[in-house]
Amino acid sequence: MIQSVRGTKDILPSEIHKWHRIEKIFKNISNLFGYRELRTPIFEKTEVFSRSIGETSDIVNKEMYTFLDKGGESITLRPEMTAALVRSVIQHQLIEQSSILRLWYFGPFFRYERPQKGRLRQFHQYGAECLGSPFPEADAEVIILADSILKSCGIEEYDLLLNTLGTNEARSKYRKALVEYFQIFKNELSDDSKFRLETNPLRILDSKDQNDLEIIKNAPDILNYLDTESLIHFEKVQDYLNSNNISYTISSQLVRGLDYYCHTVFEFRSKELGAQDSFGGGGRYDGLFEQLGGKKTPAVGFAMGVERLILILDNLNNQSADSCDYYIACSNPEFIKIGLEIQKKLISRNFSVRIDLLRRSLKAQLREANKYNAKFVIIIGEEEIKRQSFVLKDMQSGTQREISLNDVESLAI
């Protein structure tokens, strides 16, 4: 038997309703906030990612699906969307001077990571990016959008970690201080951190190594290196979140694994997840447009891992099973013809309908109606058919009444 590739998953019919439900929420809430969808190809020229995410980041260094195509061009399956989206916006000149472009996306992404619960090699992200505003209100808007999505999905409790990396100047000063500090402990650091000390010292703060963590505890704090501009921006973001009742924890060691960030960075975490507790993250990336050959364009956004969202919802038991508005049960296979006609009329009015196709007993059909969480059951029985009618049972109240076949159009939910 040929199996699916390690780290990839089929989304089976028994779980697709979960995906449909949250995809609908992504679309609706994004629209309400004025974000429009952008779809880009699943692969890009490798430089789109290597020039943006950072040559020394784990993603570019170890995790990209990169190959030469038959024409000898280096191609990469997208590991994230922000860089691809910026490439597309520059290419199609989607943003004019002094205007705002609000975009969202949903789709598959690819990272060659060690698979485990919540960590896949093909996974899905929903994300939103606000392009054009250098102001903290844009940072706040994307976080408020993320919060609205989570609440609509039924996730009321989560941890939002917030930090700032400041302006480029502030970050440079901080980087210098970090290098000076970690040099003292160079011989005690893990091999990964030793390498990062040479290439990208901020990423040492991301280390999970127990020994590194002890050293990191006393490392210089970014918040002591911020200039006035960085401080004002960060305080204003907090002010907007406070007034919107969005709680957060400031985590001055949050640096995130991608190099394009400046100022605000944030991450969503949930206690419902195990080791992979981070289910979303984002931040400001004012330098990325220029890095990819575009005009200077301030921008901020985030992405959420959809498999991880679904794991949280499964743990919260918040996933309604495959459900329908009407279930049509026939006491005799002869009535299926009428049942199919009623089904067609109801579906043309956008109701979801199930009908038995196995000629099962009425009892078995009613059991199935329960399994589908049907709001109403239409029972086509011998007696009623003689009177050109059927029985309509309200499954919530348990009440039932007789309806004429001519009155199918009057049915509602």
Binding site for ligand HAM (CB under 6 A): 80-82, 111, 113, 118-120, 123, 125, 127, 129, 257-258, 278-283, 285, 301-305, 307-308
Residue 106, both tokens: 């949903």
Q: Tokens 């043309």 appear where?
A: 348
- Give least dist CB 284 to ligand HAM, A: 8
- Give least dist CB 65 to ligand HAM, A: 12
Q: Quick one: 63 or 384, whose CB is closer to ligand HAM? A: 63
- Give least dist CB 281 to ligand HAM, A: 4
Q: Quick one: 102 or 308, whose CB is closer to ligand HAM? A: 308
Other C-beta atoms lying within 10 Å of the C-beta of residue 301:
26
Cα of first residue to Cα of last residue in the chain, in angstroms, is 46
- Give least dist CB 22 to ligand HAM, A: 13
Q: Quick one: 212 or 259, whose CB is closer to ligand HAM? A: 259
Q: Quick one: 105 or 376, whose CB is closer to ligand HAM? A: 105
Whether the CA torsion 22, 25, 31, 33 is positive or negative: it is negative
Q: Quick one: 275 or 413, whose CB is closer to ligand HAM? A: 275
The helix or strand, by DSSP H or E, that contains position 307, with its residue range, turns out to be helix 306-315
| C-alpha distance from residue 19 to each of 42, 126, 179, 231, 279 (Å) | 20, 12, 45, 40, 16
Residue 288, both tokens: 């990325």
- Give least dist CB 83 to ligand HAM, A: 8
Q: Which residue of this chain has its Cβ atom nearest to ligand HAM in the complex?
A: 305
Contacts by residues 56-59 (CB-CB < 8 Å, ≥ 24 positions apart): 56/196, 56/199, 56/200, 56/203, 56/259, 57/200, 57/203, 57/257, 57/258, 57/259, 58/257, 59/111, 59/257, 59/258
- Give least dist CB 324 to ligand HAM, A: 31
Q: Tokens 């589908």 appear where?
A: 372
Calpha distance 382→329 (Å, rounded):
12
| C-alpha distance from residue 331 to each of 49, 352, 388 (Å) | 61, 21, 15
- Give least dist CB 87 to ligand HAM, A: 13
- Give least dist CB 243 to ligand HAM, A: 23
Residue 266, both tokens: 């944030």
Buried (b) or exposed (e) across 159-169, using 16+ Cβ within 10 A? ebbbbbbbbee
16-32 and 136-153 helices, crossing angle to 10°? 140
Q: Quick one: 297 or 365, whose CB is closer to ligand HAM? A: 297
Q: Quick one: 304 or 379, whose CB is closer to ligand HAM? A: 304
- Give least dist CB 291 to ligand HAM, A: 14
Calpha distance 358→30 (Å, rounded):
41
Residue 205, both tokens: 């703060």
Other C-beta atoms lying within 10 Å of the C-beta of residue 145:
22
- Give least dist CB 246 to ligand HAM, A: 18
Calpha distance 33→110 (Å, rounded):
28
Calpha distance 133→78 (Å, rounded):
26
Q: Quick one: 278 or 297, whose CB is closer to ligand HAM? A: 278
- Give least dist CB 392 to ligand HAM, A: 45
